[in-house]
Chain A
Amino acid sequence: MSNNETLYSKRMKLADLIATDNNLLSILHRLNIKLGFGEASVSEICSRYEISTDLFLIICNIYSFHDYVPQIELLHKSDIADITGYLRRSHKYYKEICFPEIHNKIHILVKELDDVNRHLIDKFYDDYDNEVTNHFMFEENTVFPYIDTLLERDGFSDNKFSIVKFEKNHSNIGEKLNDLKNIIIKYIPEEYSSNIRFEILKDIYAVENDLRKHSLIENKLLVPLVEKLEKDYE
């Protein structure tokens, strides 16, 4: 989206945000915001669902405007739990909806291939799947609980972990997805069906885009907020 569009604001109707960028639907899905909200404004919906309006707007703006720089000062310690909550639900969305869908389609694709290629693509995808699962598991079992303790115990933590370490270890799960895309576009020979490949590519592009926004939320919102929290308690 072009950079001279106006960012979203709390007085806008939620329906108008969706009309501007339908990718925002996946955010509503994750935040369990029910459809049928009529003419309600962003701030009305946020207070009904007890979500911070500023946080909601920042997330929507991150999704829609590619050069948007979030105003982190608008967020507080109290928003951290909501961010991790959002990220957890977004993992669930990837794990339960996006990736299984891609996996099913890959399954259809490989059925057509000869033995060697079938084995190759299957293995490549399975390895990727494991990598993603491990990536999410690390965040859910190590990073988020660390943040929870930090919030609960009011800063006391004997954990040697720190959010900067997380940022450093934050592996790039987009790389292999991009490789897979090129293998499907360029290197699986022409004689194999293109229809299923078009479908897979559409899904990969969508999940790639969503993952990019997801990691922006982690790196531009979560990490700086937790870093600040760590400093406050030092």
Chain B
Amino acid sequence: MNRQEKLKILLIEPSEIIATGFKEIVGKSHGFEIMNTISTPGYYNTMQSKPDIIVINPTVINYNERFDIRSYFCSNGENISIVALTNAGYEENVMRQYDGCINIYDNTARIIQKLHSAVEEMQQNPKNELNELSTRERDILVAVAKGKTNKEIADEFNISIYTVISHRRNISRKLGINSIPGLTVYAIMNKLVDMSDFN
């Protein structure tokens, strides 16, 4: 991305006071441009407007519906940084969906810094493989398919068991496959492992 160009922000915030304040603070700092402000996500078409960053108040999203925020806005694999704008604490598994979190009590410098790091994070770690596995996840899937235990995988990759479990959870969520035999079928079908590994 060309750093000379302004980063385009789509703001989704139902409170007019907060929305106006955000526009005032961020719109004035160079490097950012608020392209649009809407109060609910609705059927906003990110394909056409192509924001670089979506700043969204998490309360507009109903978590009971297990709404996956990235697949909602980036269903075609767009690399959009998604940043929460909030004054409340959220559970970790909710916040994990976001690339950053701005608190409404943050000062201008902090807000700008958080927006920049959300964009950097996205550039270094593109997430458009939303439903595709990351390289690390793929390696772990192969190990699982070969019948290795979490402990063995943790030792092999030099990571903690908790990290292994978290990778496995993400793999299952992305693929929609939970059982080890099911994961093995996936791994062989996609030629990640060879049938001969099992004979």
Residues of A within 8 A of B (CB): 116-117, 119-121, 124, 127, 175-176, 178-183, 186-188
Report yes or no: B177 in contact with A182, Cβ–Cβ below 8 A.
yes
Report yes or no: B175 in contact with A182, Cβ–Cβ below 8 A.
yes
The distance in angstroms between the C-alpha atoms of A61 and B8, with both chains bound, is 53
- Cβ contact of A176, chosen from B176, B181, B190, B195, cutoff 8 A: B181
Closest chain B residue to A128 by CB distance? B181
Report yes or no: B195 in contact with A119, Cβ–Cβ below 8 A.
yes
Report yes or no: A179 in contact with B189, Cβ–Cβ below 8 A.
no
How near does chain B come to A132, taking the closest CB pair, in angstroms?
13
Closest chain B residue to A119 by CB distance? B195
Interface residue B188 (Cβ < 8 Å from any Cβ of A): yes
On chain A, the residues within 8 Å of B188 by CB distance are 116, 120
Asked if A179 meets B195 with Cβ closer than 8 Å, knowing A120-B185, A187-B186, the reply is: no
Report the count of interface residues on B (CB-CB < 8 A).
13
Interface residue B179 (Cβ < 8 Å from any Cβ of A): yes
Report yes or no: B195 in contact with A183, Cβ–Cβ below 8 A.
no
Report yes or no: A120 in contact with B179, Cβ–Cβ below 8 A.
no
| Contact flags B10-49 to A (C-beta < 8 A → 1, else 0) | 0000000000000000000000000000000000000000
The distance in angstroms between the C-alpha atoms of A175 and B185, with both chains bound, is 14
The distance in angstroms between the C-alpha atoms of A127 and B179, with both chains bound, is 12
Report yes or no: A180 in contact with B182, Cβ–Cβ below 8 A.
yes
Report yes or no: A176 in contact with B182, Cβ–Cβ below 8 A.
yes
How near does chain A come to B44, taking the closest CB pair, in angstroms?
27
Report yes or no: B195 in contact with A121, Cβ–Cβ below 8 A.
no
Interface residue B178 (Cβ < 8 Å from any Cβ of A): yes
Report yes or no: B189 in contact with A182, Cβ–Cβ below 8 A.
no
| Contact flags B155-199 to A (C-beta < 8 A → 1, else 0) | 000000000000000000001111101100110111000010000
On chain A, the residues within 8 Å of B190 by CB distance are 187
Apart from A124-B181, A187-B189, what 13 extra A-B contacts exist at CB < 8 Å?
A120-B188, A121-B185, A124-B182, A175-B179, A176-B179, A178-B178, A179-B176, A179-B177, A179-B181, A179-B185, A183-B182, A183-B186, A186-B175
Closest 3 CB pairs of A and B: A179-B182, A182-B176, A179-B177
The distance in angstroms between the C-alpha atoms of A121 and B189, with both chains bound, is 10
How near does chain A come to B188, taking the closest CB pair, in angstroms?
6
> 8 Å CB contacts to A: which residues of B127-179?
175-179
Report yes or no: A117 in contact with B189, Cβ–Cβ below 8 A.
yes
Report yes or no: A183 in contact with B185, Cβ–Cβ below 8 A.
yes
On chain A, the residues within 8 Å of B179 by CB distance are 175-176, 179
Report yes or no: A127 in contact with B189, Cβ–Cβ below 8 A.
no
The distance in angstroms between the C-alpha atoms of A120 and B190, with both chains bound, is 12
| Contact flags B45-61 to A (C-beta < 8 A → 1, else 0) | 00000000000000000
Most buried by A among B178, B182, B189: B182
On chain A, the residues within 8 Å of B185 by CB distance are 120-121, 124, 179, 183, 187
On chain A, the residues within 8 Å of B186 by CB distance are 183, 187
Most buried by B among A179, A182, A183, A187: A179
On chain A, the residues within 8 Å of B181 by CB distance are 124, 127, 176, 179
13 contacts between A and B (CB under 8 A): A116-B195, A119-B195, A120-B188, A120-B189, A120-B195, A124-B181, A175-B179, A176-B179, A178-B178, A179-B182, A180-B182, A186-B175, A187-B190
The distance in angstroms between the C-alpha atoms of A136 and B154, with both chains bound, is 36
On chain A, the residues within 8 Å of B178 by CB distance are 175, 178-179
The distance in angstroms between the C-alpha atoms of A176 and B177, with both chains bound, is 8
The distance in angstroms between the C-alpha atoms of A188 and B181, with both chains bound, is 15
On chain B, the residues within 8 Å of A116 by CB distance are 188-189, 195
The distance in angstroms between the C-alpha atoms of A186 and B175, with both chains bound, is 9
The distance in angstroms between the C-alpha atoms of A188 and B179, with both chains bound, is 17
The distance in angstroms between the C-alpha atoms of A39 and B175, with both chains bound, is 49
